Chain A
Amino acid sequence: MADISLGSASQGLDGIQSSYMAQVQRRRLYGGLTLLIFVVLMVSGFNIADDRNAGGFWEGLHQIGDYPADVLSEAWEKRADLPSLIATYLPALVETVNIAAVSTLIGAIGGLFLSLLGTRGLARWPRLIPVFRRISDIMRAVPEIVVALVLIFVLGGGPVPAMIAIAIHTAGALGKMFSEVAENADLKPVEGLASTGATWSQSMLLGVLPQVAPNYISYALLRFEINIRASAILGFVGAGGLGYELRNAMAWGPGRFDEATAIFILLFGTIVFFDQVSSRYRNRLTKGQAR
């Protein structure tokens, strides 16, 4: 049998132990120092921010539940009206979800092109990769609300500016995520298709898309959930839908809190619903991929 050093005490055991202990001590020291610096920065940063705050954190802390309590108690008193209020705001909810759906679809198509054109190994024009990457950086760097405000100023209020604003942001964000998936795609099918004389679009369509489709759809569904929230927020600046109604109900103060509650229930229910639907669908996609 070959010489197996099982149980053969190497002479350096003490040396190994002490050098490893030294290494552990050093690691603990660094870890402790990092933790200390972190705590000091957090505490001092908090104090600076609190000093510059008009109200003060500690004085205001106990009032944090006041507004929700007002809203909830008023809604509870008028709980009989809630079902009819929910029915009233259902059309606004449909508008919000519509904005999200259309902008996700348009954004995903844009993101698809940005990702394929901006991924090394797949790009149609390899030299233009940085250009397409910067385009997608810019598209997701600008907040939706800024684009929406500009567009509302130019085009007037309504769902179309919100849709365009969200679609631009979605294209940038999905372009980034899609291109990370595409980087891991197997290039052999693409080479095989190119060897038959296929065009770039043909080899992307048949060689890359089938590989990445489950991940792409999964990211697009996640983005759809985010966009429902975004489209509700954009209603605050006059883009219509549920957010517009919510702003009115909240800004007019007591007396309309039951309406605010009804809108919150709708929004919460919608997000839970689409979260459940898309997570079930995502699970099926990933399982289908494994099979």
Chain B
Amino acid sequence: MLKIDALTKRFGDKMAVNAANITVDKPTMIGIIGRSGAGKSTLLRMVNRLSDASEGAISFDGEEITSLRGAAKRNWQSRCAMIFQQFNLVPRMDVVSNVLHGTLNKRSTFATLFNLYPQEDIHKAIEILDRLGIAEQAPKRAEALSGGQQQRVAIARALMQDPKIILADEPIASLDPMNAQVVMQALRTIHEEDGRMVIANLHTLDTARRYCDRVIGMRDGRIVFDGTPEQLTTGVARDIYGAGADFSEAATSTEIETLDRPEVRHAEAFA
């Protein structure tokens, strides 16, 4: 399905992403971990084509992505939704309008200017919000919502795009543990119920272990680990983060139930 081949990004003489190879055969929930500056965000931004690759190729269902230009590139972006750490909503517009922004690729600038969205799109937007449990917030301004609610609006915008892939760049890094759980649960549900591929940059190991089917570890722009959550031992995590023996997973955790983690994962992540 998705094939990333020797993808490289250079900023000056610094290699942000260095010859990354990832192959995904079926819709999977993938977590990318690594410390700040490891190239996780740059990798996702290249997949969405927010930034251009220096070298290498991305292909999706046989279609070459890195060489797309203009309308073809924007069409790919509409099929490959992105969620950001700081939500990146339009703060002064209401929640439904923000969700409807997911259809912008299909609308002309003129229709956008006069806010002419079809009624079925508006109904669909509110249904998506209802699915995420925030339909009551529909007429409010996005800036009036809490962080967790705003992130769910961002997920609703992504779903409105009806994408094949959802990229999530640190989706829970600015949320409290409770909201982080709600958002991760939403992404997991979307993956399971809709069969969409989800690729999420995560900054906590236990989140990756708990919600993802596959974990990719990056360090200094290189992919240093690619395997199942079970293979991600503390020793491997030390390598990924370049940490010494004093590294403790609990110290980076934002989970409420850090201590009974392994059992929690299967019991509740799929609930």
Q: Which chain B residues border A23 with CB–CB below 8 Å?
A: 139
Q: Which chain A residues border B132 with CB–CB below 8 Å?
A: 6
Q: Verify if B189 is at the interface (C-beta below 8 Å from A).
A: yes
Q: Which chain B residues border A55 with CB–CB below 8 Å?
A: none
A35 → chain B closest CB, angstroms: 8
A14 → chain B closest CB, angstroms: 9
Q: Which chain A residues border B271 with CB–CB below 8 Å?
A: 1
Chain A residue nearest to B178 in the complex (CB): A2
Please determine whether B126 and A8 come into contact, CB atoms closer than 8 angstroms: no
Q: Verify if A17 is at the interface (C-beta below 8 Å from B).
A: yes
Please determine whether B189 and A7 come into contact, CB atoms closer than 8 angstroms: yes
Please determine whether A6 and B115 come into contact, CB atoms closer than 8 angstroms: no
Q: A1-B271, A4-B185, A6-B182 are in contact. Are A13 and B126 (CB under 8 A)?
A: yes
Q: Verify if B261 is at the interface (C-beta below 8 Å from A).
A: no
Please determine whether B126 and A16 come into contact, CB atoms closer than 8 angstroms: yes
B117 → chain A closest CB, angstroms: 8
Query: In the bound complex, what is the Cα–Cα distance between A148 and B83 (angstroms)?
Result: 58
* Chain B positions 123-148 with a Cβ under 8 Å from a chain A Cβ: 123, 126-127, 130-133, 135-136, 138-139
Q: A6-B131, A7-B131 are in contact. Are A19 and B139 (CB under 8 A)?
A: yes
Q: Verify if B161 is at the interface (C-beta below 8 Å from A).
A: no
Looking at the complex, which one of B116, B122, B189, B268 makes contact with A21 (CB distance below 8 Å)?
B122
Please determine whether B186 and A6 come into contact, CB atoms closer than 8 angstroms: yes
Query: In the bound complex, what is the Cα–Cα distance between A4 and B183 (angstroms)?
Result: 10
Flag A1-41 by CB within 8 Å of B: 1 or 0 each.
11011111110110011011101100110010000000000
Q: Which chain A residues border B181 with CB–CB below 8 Å?
A: 1-2, 4
| Chain A interface size range | 20 to 34
Interface size on B, residues (CB 8 A): 26
Q: Verify if B82 is at the interface (C-beta below 8 Å from A).
A: no
Please determine whether B178 and A16 come into contact, CB atoms closer than 8 angstroms: no
Chain A residue nearest to B268 in the complex (CB): A1
Q: Verify if B119 is at the interface (C-beta below 8 Å from A).
A: yes
Query: In the bound complex, what is the Cα–Cα distance between A4 and B132 (angstroms)?
Result: 9
Please determine whether A16 and B138 come into contact, CB atoms closer than 8 angstroms: yes
Q: Which chain A residues border B138 with CB–CB below 8 Å?
A: 16, 20
Q: Which chain B residues border A13 with CB–CB below 8 Å?
A: 126-127, 130, 135
Chain A residue nearest to B124 in the complex (CB): A17
B95 → chain A closest CB, angstroms: 9
Q: Which chain B residues border A9 with CB–CB below 8 Å?
A: 130
Query: In the bound complex, what is the Cα–Cα distance between A19 and B122 (angstroms)?
Result: 12
Please determine whether A31 and B115 come into contact, CB atoms closer than 8 angstroms: yes
Q: Which chain B residues border A1 with CB–CB below 8 Å?
A: 181, 268, 271
Chain B residue nearest to A6 in the complex (CB): B133
Query: In the bound complex, what is the Cα–Cα distance between A27 and B114 (angstroms)?
Result: 10
Q: A17-B122, A24-B122 are in contact. Are A4 and B133 (CB under 8 A)?
A: yes
B130 → chain A closest CB, angstroms: 5
Q: Which chain A residues border B186 with CB–CB below 8 Å?
A: 6
Flag B56-90 by CB within 8 Å of A: 1 or 0 each.
00000000000000000000000000000000000
Looking at the complex, which one of B96, B133, B189 makes contact with A5 (CB distance below 8 Å)?
B133
A36 → chain B closest CB, angstroms: 13
B187 → chain A closest CB, angstroms: 11
* Chain B positions 32-52 with a Cβ under 8 Å from a chain A Cβ: none
* Chain A positions 46-89 with a Cβ under 8 Å from a chain B Cβ: none
Query: In the bound complex, what is the Cα–Cα distance between A20 and B126 (angstroms)?
Result: 9
Given A10-B135, A24-B115: 10 more A-B contacts, CB < 8 Å: A4-B133, A6-B131, A6-B132, A7-B189, A10-B130, A16-B126, A16-B130, A20-B138, A20-B139, A28-B116
* 9 A-B contact pairs sorted by A residue (CB < 8 Å): A4-B133, A6-B133, A10-B135, A16-B135, A17-B122, A20-B96, A24-B115, A27-B115, A28-B115
